[in-house]
Amino acid sequence: MHSGYPKIVVTPPGPKARELIEREKRVISRGLGVKLFPLVPERGHGALVEDVDGNLFIDFLAGAAAASTGYAHPELVREVQEQVARIQHSMIGYTYSKRAIEVAEMLAERAPLEDPLVLFGMSGSDAMDMTMQVARFSTGRPWIIAFIGAYHGQTYGATSIAAFQSSQKRGLSPLVPNVVWVPYPNPYRNVWGINGYEEPDELINRFLDYLESYVFAHMVPPDETAVLIAEPIQGDAGIVVPPENFFIELKRLLEEHGILLAMDEVQTGIGRTGRWFASEWFRVEPDLLAFGKGVASGMGLSGVIGREELMEKLTSGSALLTPAANPVVSAAAHATLRIIEEENLIENALKVGGSIRKRLEEMREDYDVIGDVRGKGLMIGAEIVKPDGRPDPELTGKVCWRAFELGLILPSYGMFGNVIRITPPLVITEELAEKGLEIMERALKDALAGRVSQRVITWH
């Protein structure tokens, strides 16, 4: 696409971008999203994005970790174009689809469940709605347990179980009832004040005691609880990785009460963490697993993979969505899964992700404001803190804004808005990643020196 990267030809946002941003304000509701950057992409290639003004950026966002095979991958483009030329839509709720069947077979083969069945949706949000449906319908139980810090999505069901930012629920009640939230065992910053890196077992035990002695004893009867829904690694909360044995111990307790474990792998799945699904890192077999985002390189496919005895209990048509797994997005998913395998992108996620974490750890030694570095594969977070260890969202936002000016799409997020998020396309090279980290360090230096006046705004 270009020989030099990044390349800033006009300080972003340029004139064309500014014009389009103003046009959007006149016709699109602000409810559409949280605008992290004044960026208007025109085209992309690999892990590079070019905006409408000709600025070329290194992309550490991948469209919310969805562009798994990067941009304009020739194999994905070819397969999608060929499918559109054949037939662009058939409704799998009423007829059968060769493409959807092929994708379901590929997912079932790679999922950390034995002999599962698959449901298809269009986004991570409706995948979470379907997860709730299957859990309640198959168990006949009303209660759901979810984690504080979990995003989960924007449909009414997904919003009802989310606990990322209270603003997500403002003015929307009544929401889906019978949901209880519990603290996530964040080793770095948890409600019990435990250093989970030094005492992981203590953190696990404290959580399990809270679940049994407080939640089950005083809040919800365990025999009326259908499911506990968890992200194996919390995403929007700030790339929070729990202790290694956490889910093994949690699953043991849940099974004692006949409670299902559902994993929200919308962000963590499809090779993002260096495994097909992040549940594999924790050696746990969930009962239900939601996927989305990267499965079709961002082209609108999601779903639930679950144990056969749970999934087959659904009544006919109860999870029917007209565009779900249509031939075009199924072709994109088929190409994506094949590309990830044939180009060893899971291995690349481990290799490049390892290099990124190593470089960030070196930076942490040099900059006290980097309080923690964590993640797996190409799902990495760097927490920015004040001298007393409290979150520093102001500095975080300035670092990310300056990086944007220098040609790096570097988002900030997290429960307190102080985590730098690194989730590039799985095709990113070590050379490109290193260049991006050089820009990040320069942006950090400029922000610390007081040379940055603007900042990226994230969820609030």
Q: What's this model's pTM, rounded to 2 decimal places?
A: 0.96
Mean of the per-residue pLDDT values of the chain: 96
In this structure, the answer to whether residues 305 and 432 fall within a common structural domain is no
| Helix-helix angle 246-256:200-210, to 10 degrees | 20
| pLDDT of 92 higher than 70 | yes
If asked whether residues 316 and 214 sit together in one domain, one would say yes
Tell me the two tokens of residue 83. 């499918």
The predicted model gives 113-120 an average pLDDT of 96
Residues 58 and 180 in one domain: no
pLDDT at 156: 95
- pLDDT tens for 144-157 read 999 999 999 999 99
Q: Each residue of 173-211: pLDDT tens digit?
A: 999 999 999 999 999 999 999 999 999 999 999 999 999
Residue 460's pLDDT band, with cuts at 50, 70 and 90, is low
Of the pLDDT bands very low, low, confident and very high (cuts 50, 70, 90), residue 3 is low
- Indicate if 320 and 352 belong to the same structural domain: no
Inform me whether the pLDDT recorded for 32 exceeds 90.
no
| CATH code for the domain in which residue 279 is found | 3.40.640.10
Do residues 351 and 332 both lie within one domain?
A: no
Regarding whether 184 and 315 lie in a shared domain, the answer is yes
Q: Give CA–CA dist 14/55, Å, rounded.
A: 9
Q: How would you list the strands of the sheet with 370-376, edge to edge? A: 370-376, 379-384, 419-422, 412-413
- pLDDT of 112 above 90: yes
pLDDT at 19 over 70: yes
| pLDDT higher than threshold 60 for residue 426 | yes
Per-residue pLDDT of 349-376, as tens digits, reads 999 999 999 999 999 999 999 999 999 9
Q: Does 458 map to a domain? A: no
Whether residues 328 and 199 fall in one domain: yes
23 is in which domain, residue-wise?
A: 15-63+344-449
